[in-house]
């Protein structure tokens, strides 16, 4: 393995195994996860679900090629939704290390499910939408798959298999304790031998190279992913130390990245027609935006005599995150 600084919490680690045409990402969320979860008093089952979703969003977002830290790079949005399910909406997104997430759910129905509800119990017949927004490449594309499997990780594996024909293995772990909630994850994929003019190996889901890597990656233990004292480099080395070469690269630093601000909402609201602003103003003529991601209210005064009250930021103003 090439030398790299030790990576522990809230730092993405990328790695590749050239001889197996495989790449991977590993992450452990700790302080950043606490900040995101603290915006809402989620019950344990929802805390676990959102923590897992945030780990997966970080792993998949870390695959973006133009996702720089300047705020203008690629964005990954993952949304799970049902019609009438206990969880009405789960949405997370990643942009250059900035991570955010939110869950809307029916508290009474959740209580009836018990302590450890299954993914099916939470979502019923739902779907998972994964959206890649790549402004530097001039493109935006989305894949939608049924929300099936025992975990969100399995549903995302199905997305890559069905939408991109890309063999993918995801492992996640979440633990809540007196020191707070910690969550970790590992993602491994099989790549094409060459992007142009050659057979793409990843269309062969039973390729021996992938089977070998998947067996090794699948041996990852739950406790390893959430061990605060185990570096991600050490974890990757444990799994793949017998390979000819493992290249590692420290990725983006992860932080709570809700992009809400007075300036942001003022810019967004200024694009609304004046009649809508007038029709939706509050009694003081002020726009009040409630951000579902960070649970904060932002009063915006566009003009002395104009304004609107707009409550559902996740549905309207945060349309970049909610599809």
pLDDT tens digits, the chain, 323 residues: what are they? 545 568 999 999 999 999 999 999 999 999 999 999 999 999 999 999 999 999 999 999 999 875 444 445 789 999 998 888 899 999 999 999 999 999 999 999 999 998 889 999 999 989 999 999 987 766 888 999 999 889 999 999 999 988 888 899 999 999 998 889 999 999 999 986 544 334 444 445 667 889 999 999 999 999 999 999 999 999 999 999 999 999 999 999 999 987 777 777 777 777 888 887 776 677 777 877 777 787 777 777 765 433 333 333 333 444 444 43
Axis-axis angle for helices 208-218, 232-240 (nearest 10): 130
Report pLDDT for 71: 45
Report pLDDT for 307: 37
Which structure tokens are listed for 122?
């939470």
Report pLDDT for 274: 81
Report pLDDT for 323: 38
Mode of pairing for the β-strands spanning 287-291 and 309-310: parallel
Can you list the domains of the chain with their CATH numbers? 11-256 (3.55.30.10), 262-310 (no CATH)
Read off the pTM.
0.83
For the chain, first and last CA: distance in Å?
40
Report pLDDT for 3: 54
| DSSP letter for each residue of 33-87 | HHHHHTTS---HHHHHHHHHHHHHHHHHHTT-SS--TTSSS-EEEEEEE-SS-SE
C-alpha dist (Å) from residue 124 to 42, 81, 85: 20, 10, 6
Which structure tokens are listed for 285?
């003529």
CA separation for the pair 315, 323 (Å, rounded)? 8
Residues in the chain: 323
Nearest to 231 by CA among 4, 18, 54, 23: 4
Backbone phi, then psi, for 96, in 5-degree steps?
Answer: 55, 35
């Amino acid at each position: 393995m090439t030398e790299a600084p030790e990576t522990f919490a809230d730092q993405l680690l990328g790695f590749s195994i050239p001889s197996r045409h495989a790449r991977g990402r590993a992450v452990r969320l700790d302080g950043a996860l606490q900040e995101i979860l603290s915006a809402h008093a989620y019950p344990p089952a929802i805390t676990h679900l959102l923590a897992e979703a945030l780990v997966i969003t970080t792993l998949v977002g870390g695959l973006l090629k133009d996702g720089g830290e300047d705020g203008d790079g690629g964005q990954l949005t993952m949304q799970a939704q049902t019609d009438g399910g206990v969880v009405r909406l789960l949405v997370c997104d990643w942009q250059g290390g900035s991570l955010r997430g939110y869950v809307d759910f029916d508290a009474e129905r959740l209580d009836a499910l018990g302590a450890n509800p299954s993914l099916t119990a939470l979502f019923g017949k739902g779907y998972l939408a994964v959206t890649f927004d790549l402004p530097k490449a001039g493109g935006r594309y989305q894949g939608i798959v049924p929300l099936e499997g025992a975990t969100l990780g399995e549903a995302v594996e199905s997305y890559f298999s069905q939408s991109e024909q890309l063999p993918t293995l995801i492992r996640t772990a979440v633990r809540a304790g007196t020191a707070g909630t910690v969550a970790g994850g590992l993602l491994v994929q099989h790549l094409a031998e060459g992007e142009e003019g050659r057979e793409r190996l990843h269309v062969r889901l039973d390729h021996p190279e992938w089977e070998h890597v998947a067996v090794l990656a699948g041996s990852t233990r739950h406790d390893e992913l959430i061990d605060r004292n185990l570096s991600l480099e050490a974890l990757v080395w444990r799994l793949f130390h017998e390979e000819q070469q493992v290249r590692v690269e420290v990725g983006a630093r992860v932080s709570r990245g809700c992009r809400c601000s007075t300036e942001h909402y003022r810019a967004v609201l200024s694009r609304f027609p004046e009649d809508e602003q007038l029709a939706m103003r509050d009694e003081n003529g002020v726009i009040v935006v409630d951000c579902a991601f960070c649970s904060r209210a932002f009063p915006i005064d566009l003009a002395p005599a104009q304004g609107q009250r707009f409550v559902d930021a996740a549905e309207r103003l945060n349309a970049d995150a909610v599809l």
